[in-house]
Amino acid sequence: GDSVTQMEGPVTLSEEAFLTINCTYTATGYPSLFWYVQYPGEGLQLLLKATKADDKGSNKGFEATYRKETTSFHLEKGSVQVSDSAVYFCALPTDKLIFGTGTRLQVFP
Amino acid sequence: GAVVSQHPSRVICKSGTSVKIECRSLDFQATTMFWYRQFPKKSLMLMATSNEGSKATYEQGVEKDKFLINHASLTLSTLTVTSAHPEDSSFYICSARVTGRNSPLHFGNGTRLTVT
């Protein structure tokens, strides 16, 4: 069945470091793919999305490219900030929405 | 953009009482809303899918008599935790989808329920 596999955290980085959070998926057809972010004590916010193969979603300096050949949608940011500390979820829409397990990012000054 | 409002953000109740959580889509109509539960440092667990004008569809293992869901209008779904117990303490989040299955879900800010 459809599924999402996301790298385990936490990921701990210094400010201005490069970030990669891996996400791979298994799906029937070619669904959209999403990254959500959850700041402490809050709900989830849509960070970025890609609707078809080779699309690149981007927002707030984060990017992810929908790669059909590797069934991946890795999240990247060139220079993280302390304010990026949050939990990041990769998600695959089906009739519901399938989430990865979430990756906690901690950025230290 | 699409906004989902969830209320209350925090609630503390005594064991045995019931608590109602509201989820509203403020600027769009949502025929389908989803209710999630999140345990500390864990991912989201889908509890049920709420469809306007019909019965909710519950995920396996979720007690429908304990977690009552009502989706009375295109902009409002409610989750009532009945006869709450301390093990029901959790973070509950609702979400709504604007259009089809490939459109993203928009989430409320969640409700922190503490049962004493």
What is the pLDDT at residue B87? 95
What is the pLDDT at residue A70? 94
- For residue A11, the chain B residues in CB contact (below 8 A) are none
Partners of B73 in the β-ladder: B76
Q: How does pLDDT run across A49-60, given as a tens digit for each residue?
A: 999 899 999 999
Contact: A99, B44; criterion CB under 8 Å = yes
Out of B102, B108, B110, the one facing A32 most closely (by C-beta) is B102
What is the pLDDT at residue A30? 75
CA–CA gap between residue B2 and residue B7 (Å, rounded): 17
pLDDT at B55 over 80: yes
Contact: B44, A46; criterion CB under 8 Å = no
Contact: A89, B44; criterion CB under 8 Å = yes
Q: Rounded mean pLDDT of chain B?
A: 90
Q: Rounded mean pLDDT of chain A?
A: 93
CA–CA gap between residue A54 and residue A65 (Å, rounded): 6
Nearest CA to B48 among B70, B17, B27? B70
pLDDT confidence tier of residue B113, bands split at 50, 70 and 90:
very high
pLDDT at B2 over 90: no
In chain B, which among 15-74 make CB contacts under 8 A with chain A? 34, 41-44, 46, 49
pLDDT confidence tier of residue B43, bands split at 50, 70 and 90:
confident
- The larger pLDDT score, comparing residue A7 to residue B17, is at B17
